[in-house]
Structures are given as structure tokens and as C-alpha cells.
Amino acid sequence: MASGIPETGRALRTLVTENGTVEVSVQEAPIPELGPGDVLVRVEAAPVNPSDLGILFAGADMSAATVSGSWEQPVLTAPLSPGAVRALAARVGKPLPAGNEGAGTVVAAGASDAAQALIGRAVAVAGGGMYADYRRADAAQCLVLPADVTPRQGASSFINPMTALGMVETMRREGHTGLVHTAAASNLGQMLNRVCAEDKIPLVNIVRSAAQEEILRALGAEYVCNSTSPAFAAELTAALEATSATLAFDAVGGGELAGTILGCMEAAAAKDAPGYSVYGTTTRKQVYIYGGLDRGPTIVHRTFGLTWGLGGWLLTPFLQTIGPDRFRELRERVGAGLTTTFASSYTQEVSLAGALQPEAVAAYTRQATGEKFVIAPQSG
């Protein structure tokens, strides 16, 4: 181990207990041994993404969360429903690391040339356990940040950028020519607008407020539909007719939105369809649910024939289908655009312990548009 590396480091741990609670705490643990191909990354920035919340809090009722312990060693405890505890049986009693992605500086490396070459470099890492002072990583899995990109700028280099590119890639592979995106003013949604503008892909943005509409208009988005508008279905149908978009990615999940999109896609397709069929048009219509801003049931009024699909979409298995060469191409595109197309911005920076304070938890679990947290372990 190189000099100057402490023997232990802190990390967030999340534990589902037999008592039906989830406990999230800051734990001190030994710095792991490095294999020949490993590097040790001193984590400087790790974002709080929606996809981190399921691991951190396991679907607990966060309105009933309490924090005990000291400022430096807080323990956040929140109750789980009996149903959630049953579903989480495999997690009970096993503390898990958290933090899907982040970036930092390589402060030690194994003996291999590839690992040694990264010493002192700023790298981004995805794959969990980034809410920590130090994270061991396979050198081959690190994205080396360009010289002018800071770890904070590179911290969100995987999930949102690869999700945006994955949506476009899915569209091409499944034979669609335009996209629909919900919760479209999100950090990811804004990124998707920049990608689609670059690639000249028509994109229909669905938002839930005038303020969100304004964010996207300011970004140059052409098609923005507000689901709270009384004429939403007609406005969405018109946008779908103009764009021929037949593939949607939905972050909301619950309620009637996914079904409404399918219905409007069918209405747009029917305007061009020859004649009438009791089974609807032959236009393939697909909605992928990739998030769960609304945890309630998905309610689908099947008024759009039989040529439709609804399903889940998850980044990691999708990336496994595209092959290593295409994966590398997408990663390189992200690396080249971290301060432009794929830039993320944060409204709040917190330490590991600060991430467990009630007001911080309340803020980032709200998943409000324009509010994004980054954890900076070295800040406290």
C-alpha cells in the first residue's frame, strides 16, 4: 500500500433488520487489499441518483425516519411495511454498500501496468459502493477523466449519460424513429434533449408543470407537453403525429400516463392508417417504464388495439446486449462530452454524515426537478 493511505475509511452502509426497519449509517472499515489489476480511488464526488434510493432506503417510509448517534456517526432508522420486509428477505441482516457511481483520484494501484498507469489520475467508477472515502476498483472499469474535467464534473458519467444513450440505442435497435420521455425536465431529461438535438432525433417531452415546460423550452426543446393541461391528450397526439415517435421511456410508472401515451400514439397512427380495423393500427407502440416516481399501480385503458407493448427497462442488462465494442463507443462519447452534452449540475453538496441528516434526506428523496445532491466524502 502506498504511503499516505490510511488503514481504514468510512462508508455508508444500509441494513434491513429483523425488526422491520432499515438502518443507514456511517461505518469505519479497513481499506481493502488491492489485486494486481486494482486501483484505490479516493472518492471525491458521488451523486444521489433516483436509482440509489432503493438500495439506501429499501422503500421504507421516510416520513417516519429518525436519526440517532453523533454528527459524525449518525444512524438513520426508518420503518418498513410488513410486505416490504418479506420482499427484502434476502437483505435482512446483511449490511450493503451504496452509491452507484462517482469519481475521485487514484491514490494507490496494484502491480499491473494498467493499474500503475492510473496513479494520480482522476477517474470515474460505476458499480456500487461509491458513498465511501475509498473504493477499490478494477483499473479496466475506470473511465479516465480528461485533464480538464474534475471528479465532481465526472461523478455522474455513467448512469444518466448511459441511460440517455441507451434510450436512443434502444430506439434504433427496435426500429423506432422518435422518442417520448416523461419527467422530461429532470437532469436526465435535459441530457436526453441535448443528445437528441445532436443526433437529430425527434423527442416529445412530457412534463407536469409550467415551470418544467419553461426549463425545456429554454433549452430549445421543440415538443413539450404538460400533462396537467386540460388538452393534454390532444396536444400529445399532435406532437406524436408531427414526430412519428412510437417509443416512450417513462420514469413515472404509476397511474394512467403510460396508457395515455399508448392511446395517443394509436390516435396519431390512425390518422395515417388506411381503413378501419377492430384490432387497431399495425403501428408498433412501446412504452418502457424505467423509474417509479409514482409507486402506485399502472392503470392501462386498452383503447389502442393489440399492437402495443409495455415493459420494464433497466440499463445494465440493456448494455449487456449491445456488445463490448458498442459499449466502448458510447463510453467514449460520454467521456468527450462531460462538460457539455453530458454535464450534470448539483444544487447541494453534503458529506457522508451530512447525507443522513433529516433535511438532506427529505430534500433528495423528494426527487424534485432541478434539485440534485452530490456526496463529497472528503468534505467532512
Residue with Cβ nearer a copy of itself (4 or 312):
312
Q: How many angstroms separate the CA atoms of 143 and 331, rounded?
A: 8
Q: Does 234 bind a copy of itself (CB under 8 A)?
A: no
Report whether 140 contacts 117 (CB < 8 A): no
Residue 297 CB, shortest distance to a copy of itself, in Å, is 5
Q: Does 302 bind a copy of itself (CB under 8 A)?
A: yes
User: SS3 of 44, please?
Assistant: strand
Main-chain phi, psi angles of 329, to 5 degrees: -60, -45
Residue with Cβ nearer a copy of itself (318 or 346):
318
Q: How many angstroms separate the CA atoms of 56 and 96, rounded?
A: 9
Residue 274 CB, shortest distance to a copy of itself, in Å, is 9
Which residue reads 469505519 in cell numbers? 28
**Positive or negative, the Cα torsion across 284, 194, 124, 94?**
negative
Residue 148 CB, shortest distance to a copy of itself, in Å, is 35
Give the interface segment with a copy of itself, choosing from 18-26, 191-199, 251-259, 322-330 (CB under 8 A). Answer: 251-259
Site string for a copy of itself, 182-201 (x = CB under 8 A): --------------------
Residue with Cβ nearer a copy of itself (69 or 292):
292
Q: Does 50 bind a copy of itself (CB under 8 A)?
A: no
Q: Does 22 bind a copy of itself (CB under 8 A)?
A: no
DSSP secondary structure of 209-259: SHHHHHHHHHTT-SEEEETTSTTHHHHHHHHHHHH---EEEES-EEETHHH
Q: Does 210 bind a copy of itself (CB under 8 A)?
A: no
Q: Does 313 bind a copy of itself (CB under 8 A)?
A: yes
Main-chain phi, psi angles of 65, to 5 degrees: -75, 145
Give the interface segment with a copy of itself, choosing from 36-44, 87-95, 129-137, 179-187 (CB under 8 A). Answer: 87-95
Site string for a copy of itself, 270-299 (x = CB under 8 A): -----xx-xx--x------xx-x----xxx
Residue 120 CB, shortest distance to a copy of itself, in Å, is 34
Residue 222 CB, shortest distance to a copy of itself, in Å, is 29
Among 134, 209, 139, 195, smallest CA distance to 164 is for 195
Q: How many angstroms separate the CA atoms of 137 and 158, rounded?
A: 15
Report whether 203 contacts 245 (CB < 8 A): yes
Q: How many angstroms separate the CA atoms of 378 and 375, rounded?
A: 9
Binding residues vs a copy of itself (CB under 8 A):
54-55, 58, 87-88, 90-91, 253-254, 259, 275-276, 278-279, 282, 289-290, 292, 297-303, 305-314, 317
